Amino acid sequence: MAAVSVYAPPVGGFSFDNCRRNAVLEADFAKRGYKLPKARKTGTTIAGVVYKDGIVLGADTRATEGMVVADKNCSKIHFISPNIYCCGAGTAADTDMTTQLISSNLELHSLSTGRLPRVVTANRMLKQMLFRYQGYIGAALVLGGVDVTGPHLYSIYPHGSTDKLPYVTMVHCEEELFTENLFFIRQAEVVSEEAWGPSFAISLAVFLVA
C-alpha cells in the first residue's frame, strides 16, 4: 500500500514543542531519582550603562581555555586614561595589549594637548586599529568614560564597527561569535521604558549591570 503524504504549510512564530518534551523528560528523570545536567557557560560577559552622572561598567572574572577555567580572578576592566575605562572580551592577550597600546597613545595625546582625552578619541583610535587588522585581533570591547561633553558608552567589535548606546553588553563564547546578550537587552529595555531619563540613578545602573 502506498504511503500518503499530506502537505503541511509552515507555521510562523515560535514553536514550544521542545519545552513540553523537556518538561516530560525532566519529570520522568525525577521519578527515577536523576537530575538533568545543567547548561554550562564558559564565555565572557561585559556590560555598561550610562546614568545621569557617569558610567557603570561590569565584567566577570573568569579566563577560560576551552571548557577549562584557567583563572578565576582575571581583570577584564582595563585602564585607558583617568576618565576612560574599557571592558574586554575575547582573546585575553589581544584585549590586554590593545588597551595598553591605546592607553599609551592617549597619554601622549594628553601631554601634547594639555587636557584629558575625550571618549570619542579613544573610540576612534580603537576602531581604526581593529579595522586595520580585519578581525584578526580578537578583542570585543565596551568603552566608557566621562569627558567635558558628558558620559559616553561605546561597543567596539573585533572588525572595527562601533555603536554608541545608553546601555550595552557583549558576550564571547568559544562556540559563537561576539553577540549581544538578548536577555540583558530585553531587561534593559523594560527598565528603560519605565525609568530611563536624565535622572537615571546610579543604584539602578549598578543593579542592571550586576
Half-sphere exposure of 35 (CA within 13 A, CB side): 3
What's the grid cell of residue 96? 590586554
**Which residue do the cell numbers 558628558 mark?**
150
Q: Which of 42, 44, 45, 95 is catalytic?
A: 44
- Between CA 79 and CA 100 the distance in angstroms is 8
**Active site annotation includes 44:** yes
Cβ neighbors of 171 (< 8 A, separation 6 or more) are 43, 44, 45, 89, 178, 179, 180, 181
- Between CA 119 and CA 198 the distance in angstroms is 20
Helix (H, G, I), strand (E, B) or coil at 127: helix
Active site positions, annotated: 44
